Chain A
Amino acid sequence: MNPLDYAVLLGTMLGIAAFAIWRTRGRHELRTYLKGAGNARWITIGLSVMATQASAITFLSTPGQGYESGLGFVQNYFGAPLALIIIAVVFLPIYRRLNVYTAYEYLGRRFDPKTRLFGAALFLLQRGLGAGITIYAPAIVLSTVMGWRLDLTIVCSGLLVIVYTVTGGSDAVSLTQKYQIGVIFAGMVTAFFVLLAKLPAGLTFTEALGVAGSFHKLEAVDFSFNMDRRYTFWSGVLGGMFLALSYFGTDQSQVQRYLTGASLRESRLGLMFNAVLKIPMQFFILLLGALLFVFYQFETPPVVFNQAVWAAHAQGETGDRLRAIEAGFAAAHAEERADLNAWLAARRAGDPAAAAQARTGMLAAQQRTAGWRTEAQQVLAAASGRTTTSDADYVFITFILDHLPHGVIGLLVAVFFAAALSSKSAELNALGSTTTVDLYRHVIRREATDAHYVAASKWFTALWGVVAIGFALCARLAENLIQAVNILGSIFYGVMLGLFLVAFFLRWVRGTAVFWAAAAAQVLVFVLYFSLGISYLWYNLIGCAACVGFSVILQAVLGDGRRPDAAQAA
C-alpha cells in the first residue's frame, strides 16, 4: 500500500466514524440510545441488517471459498428468504406491539424471569465469543499480508468501533452502517470489473464461466440427500432457514436493527429488502472467487496464498523442500495452462473429441497442482508447529495487493474494515443493550433514572468491546473463518429459536417447562456436535426440535399448562 491507499483507507474509516459521532451526539434517553430516534426508513433498516450480517469475514473468506470449492456455499443462504418472511409476519409485529428493547424481554413477559435470563445468557455467550472472532478474523489476515502488527490492528480497529458505538448508540450504528455498506458495494463491484478486465484478451465471459465450470466451480445447487455433505439444497433450505430464523429473529444484534424502524411497515420492508438481495449478494461474492480461480489458471498463482508464512520458512530448514515443491507446482501449473488453452481452442473449433481429451489432461494436471499445494501446506504447518488460518482466506487479498491499482487497493482494504466495523458495532450495541436491559435493570438495579441506564449501557458496551479485543488478542483459529462463525452460531441458535417458537406458537407451555427443556436441548446439541460428523447447519434444526419437543413433554408431565400468559394473549 502506498500513501494514496492509506489516505483512502483512513479517510473513509475515520470520516464515517467522525460524522456518526457528530450526528448522533447528545443521546440522553435510554429509548433513543438503544432504539434510535424511531424514524429509520426501510432502506436504512435494510442496509443496516445487511451490514450487520456481512462481516469482514464475508468479503475476505467467501471469495476464497468460491476459489477452492465453487458456488455450493450459496445454498447456505437458501433458507434466508423464507425465514425473513416468517419473522416479518410473526416475530416483528409482536416485538413492536410489546414495545420491547430486546428480544429476551419478550421471553420474560411470555414466560418468566429465569427463561428471559436464559435466553439473554445464550445470546451473550455465543455473541460474546463471536464478537472476538469478527474482530480477530480480518485482523489476522490483513496484518499477515500487510506486515502490520496483529495486536495493534486488533486494538486500533476495536477502539475505533467502541468510540462511535458508545458515543451515539443505536443511531450511530445505523448511520455508519449505511455509509460503510456503500463503501463495501463500491469496492466489491470495482474489484469484480477489474478482475474481468484482467482475464486474458479474447476470453469471453461465457468462456470464463466455461473454464470455471469445467473445474466444477459452478456447481451451485446439489439436490442430493447426502447428510455428510456440508452444503446441499435441503440442508440450505431447512438448516439454513432455522439458522436464519434464529439469527434474524432472536439475535439481538439483528432485532435491534429492525426495531429502529419508524413503523412496522418500514421494518418489514427492510427485512424484505434482505430477503430479496441476500442470495444474489452471496452468489456475486462466490462468483468473484470462481472467476479468481479462472484468472489464476492463466496467471501462475503462489503455491500458497499466505505468502508471509511461506517467506518465513523458505529461508529455514524447510527451504529446500519448499523450493522443490514450488518447482513441481510450477511445472504442473504450466501443463494445466497448456491443456486449458488446448481445451479452449478445441471448443472454439467445434471439436468435441479434442476438447474432451484436453479436459481430461487439464483436470489431471489440476489434481497435481492441488497435490503440491496440499503438500506445501502440510510442510508449513509442521514447520510452524501450530495450526494456521485456511489458505483460502488469503486468496482475495493476495489478488488485490498483486493486481489492483493503487487507490483501489486502499478502497478494498477499506471494504474489509468497513465490514468489520459495521458488524462489530451492531454486536457491541446489542451486547450492551442486553446486559443493561435484561441483566442490570432487570436483576441488579430495578429503579434508576434514564441517565443512569444510558451511562450503564455505555459502560457495558465499552466493556464488551474490551472483552472482544481481549478475546481476539488470544484467539487461535484453525478452520475457514466464516465457517467458524457459522458453526458457533449453529450450536446455540437452534435452542434459542426453540424458545421463541414455543413462546409464539405453543401458548399452553409455561416457563418452567421451557426453561428446563431448553437447558436439556443445549446439552444434547453439545453432545451431538462432539460425537457426530453431520453438517453443522443441521444442529439448528436439531436444537430447535429438541427444545420444542422437550417443552411439550415436560409441560405434559408438569401439567397446569392451560392458561395462556398475559403477554401472548395481549
Chain B
Amino acid sequence: MKPPAKEPADPSPASRETAADARTGVPGLRTWRAVYLFVLGCFIVWVGLLTLLTRMFS
C-alpha cells in the first residue's frame, strides 16, 4: 500500500510565512493565544502588585 501523497508545497511567500509563523518558538507557550494570555496575565499581575504597593504604603 502506498503512503498517502503529500500535499504539494505552496511556494508563495505568504503561505510559507503562515506555516512558519504559526509556531511561536516560545518554550511552554506553543500557540499565539497562549502567548497573548501570558502577556495579559503579566499585566494583571503588575496591576495587582502596584495596587498592593499603593495600599501597603499609603
- Residues of A whose CB lies within 8 Å of any CB of B are 71, 74, 78, 81-82, 84-85, 88-89, 96-97, 209-210, 212-214, 216, 218-221, 233, 263-265, 268-269, 272, 275-276, 279-280, 283
- B14, A272: Cβ atoms closer than 8 Å: no
User: Interface residues of B, CB < 8 Å — how many?
Assistant: 25
Q: Please name the residue on chain A nearest to B42 by beta carbon.
A: A276
A214 to B56, alpha carbons, bound, how many Å? 10
A82 to chain B, nearest CB (A): 7
Chain A residues within an 8 Å CB radius of B21: 263-265, 268
Q: Are A85 and B39 in contact (CB under 8 A)?
A: yes
> Would A85 and B24 count as touching, CB distance under 8 A?
no
Q: Can you sample 12 A-B contacts with CB below 8 Å?
A: A81-B42, A89-B36, A96-B17, A220-B50, A221-B51, A221-B54, A233-B47, A263-B21, A268-B21, A268-B32, A272-B36, A276-B39
Also in contact, A81 and B40, with CB within 8 A (given A264-B21, A269-B24): yes
B26–chain A nearest beta-carbon distance, Å: 7
CB pair A218–B43 under 8 Å, yes or no, is: no
Residue of A whose beta carbon sits closest to that of B13: A99
Contact code string B37-56 (vs A, CB < 8 Å = 1, else 0): 01110110011001101101
The answer to whether A283 and B43 touch across the interface, beta carbons within 8 angstroms, is no
In the assembled complex, how far is the CB of residue B16 from the closest CB belonging to chain A, in whole angstroms? 9
Whether the pair B24, A209 counts as a contact (CB closer than 8 A) is no
A288 CB to nearest B CB, Å: 15
Contact B43 A81 (CB under 8 A): yes
Question: CB distance B58 to A219 under 8 Å?
Answer: yes
CB within 8 Å for A263 and B39 given contacts A97-B14, A213-B56, A283-B50: no
- Beyond known contacts A82-B43, A209-B57, A283-B46: 15 more, CB 8 A cutoff: A71-B54, A78-B47, A81-B40, A81-B42, A85-B39, A209-B53, A210-B57, A216-B58, A219-B58, A220-B54, A263-B21, A265-B21, A265-B24, A268-B35, A276-B38
Is B5 an interface residue, CB under 8 A from the partner? no
Please tell me which one of the listed residues A216, A265, A276 contacts residue B20 in the complex, with CB atoms under 8 A apart.
Answer: A265
A269:B26 contact, CB within 8 angstroms: yes
Write the chain B residue with the least CB distance to A209: B57
Closest CB in chain B relative to A84 CB, distance in Å: 8
Once the chains bind, are B46 and A280 in contact (CB under 8 Å)?
yes
Please determine whether A220 and B51 come into contact, CB atoms closer than 8 angstroms. Answer: yes
Instruction: Please indicate the chain B residues that have their CB under 8 angstroms from the CB of A233 in the complex.
Output: 47
* Given contacts A71-B50, A220-B51, A264-B21, A212 and B36 within 8 Å (CB-CB): no
Measured in the bound complex, the distance between the Cα atoms of B23 and A264 in whole Å is: 11
Interface majority SS (helix, strand, loop, mixed), chain A: helix
Query: A219 contacts which chain B residues (CB < 8 A)?
Result: 54, 58
Of B24, B25, B35, B38, which is in contact with the most chain A CB atoms at under 10 Å from its CB? B35
Given contacts A264-B17, A264-B21, A265-B24, contact A85 B40 (CB under 8 A): yes
- Asked whether, in the complex, the Cβ of A279 is within 8 Å of the Cβ of B51, the reply is no
CB closest chain-A residue, reference B50: A220
Instruction: Show the binding face of B for A, using Cβ within 8 Å.
Output: 14, 17, 20-21, 23-26, 32, 35-36, 38-40, 42-43, 46-47, 50-51, 53-54, 56-58
User: A218 touching B57 by the CB < 8 A rule?
Assistant: yes
CA gap between A221 and B58 in the complex, in Å: 11
B53 near A265: Cβ-Cβ < 8 Å? no
A212: B residues at CB distance < 8 A:
57
A269 to B21, alpha carbons, bound, how many Å? 10
A218 in contact with B39 (CB, 8 Å): no
Q: Give the complex CA separation of A84 and B43 in angstroms.
A: 12
Taking a contact as CB atoms under 8 Å apart, the answer to whether A81 and B57 are in contact is no
Complex Cα spacing A269 to B39, Å:
11
The answer for the CA separation of A265 and B36 in the assembled complex, in Å, is 13
> B24 — which chain A residues lie within 8 A by C-beta?
265, 269
A279 CA to B41 CA, complexed, in Å: 13
CB distance from A466 to the nearest CB of B (A): 38
Across the interface, do A265 and B23 meet the contact criterion of CB distance under 8 Å? yes
| A269–B20 alpha-carbon span in the complex (Å) | 14
**Known contacts A81-B39, A276-B42, A279-B46; is-contact A218 B54 (Cβ 8 Å):** yes
Once bound together, how far apart are the Cα atoms of A78 and B40, in whole Å? Answer: 11
Name the residue of chain A whose CB is nearest to the CB of B48: A221
| Complex Cα gap A213–B57 (Å) | 5
Closest 10 CB pairs of A and B: A213-B57, A220-B50, A264-B21, A265-B21, A81-B43, A218-B57, A275-B39, A221-B51, A279-B46, A220-B54
User: Looking across the interface, which residue of chain A has its beta carbon closest to that of B25?
Assistant: A265
**Complex alpha-carbon distance, A97 and B15, angstroms:** 10
A220 contacts B39, CB within 8 Å?
Answer: no
B43 touches A263 (CB 8 A): no
Residue of B20, B25, B57 with most chain A CB atoms under a 10 A cut-off = B57
Cβ contacts under 8 Å, A81 to chain B? 39-40, 42-43
Task: Report yes or no: A269 in contact with B51, Cβ–Cβ below 8 A.
Answer: no
Which one of B26, B43, B56, B58 has the highest number of Cβ atoms from chain A below 10 Å of its Cβ? B43
A85 to B38 CA separation, bound complex (whole angstroms): 11
| Nearest Cβ on chain B to A275's Cβ, whole angstroms | 5
Nearest Cβ in chain B — how far from A339, in angstroms? 18
**A221 and B47: CB pair below 8 A?**
yes
Q: Closest Cβ of chain B: how far from A212's Cβ, in Å?
A: 7
Q: Report the bound CA distance from A365 to B1 in whole Å.
A: 91
Q: Which residues of A contact B23 (CB under 8 A)?
A: 265
